[in-house]
Structure 1
Amino acid sequence: MLTILYFARLRDVLGCASETLATPPATVRDLIALLVARGGVWQAELGGARVFRVAINQEMAQLDDAIPAGAEVAIFPPVTGG
């Protein structure tokens, strides 16, 4: 089982704050490809030029990082502080 959390702009545009997948993809790249394949706003937000970040179990992740079983994956736009 994989829990995906969406934050900020992505939560609003995608229309959901979280979801679960019974069969987690092997890598972050595979997960993003699965979400982009949904088309529409999913493709526009995650497959185009829009910038976003990914964390696995609250640790920043790269596209080729493996997703362990039972993981929590957060997808969010970059943030800046002041």
Structure 2
Amino acid sequence: MKKILLTLFAAGSFSLAVAQEKTAITDQDYANQKVEMADNFRGEGKIYVVVAVALTVLGGFAGYAWKTDQKLKKLETEIGQQA
């Protein structure tokens, strides 16, 4: 039963992985210097929320890596003392 469900899931997920059609790039696309979404966020003050969330996520990753490193160092010293 597990193999059948896994096979059906795999077949279903492969059918969803369809490439999009190619879009033609024009000279106007290269000349576009406006980033409307960022300008809009900056104008409404929401850009600070985006930056704060990004910094919070990066800080969380850094904290997790630091804490994991501390635990690893502790385990390495314990193993070194036992040997």
- Provide the TM-score with structure 1 as the length reference: 0.19
More helix by share: 2
Q: Which one scores higher on RCO, CA 8 angstroms, separation ≥ 6?
A: 1
Larger Rg: 2
- Provide the TM-score with structure 2 as the length reference: 0.19
More strand by share: 1
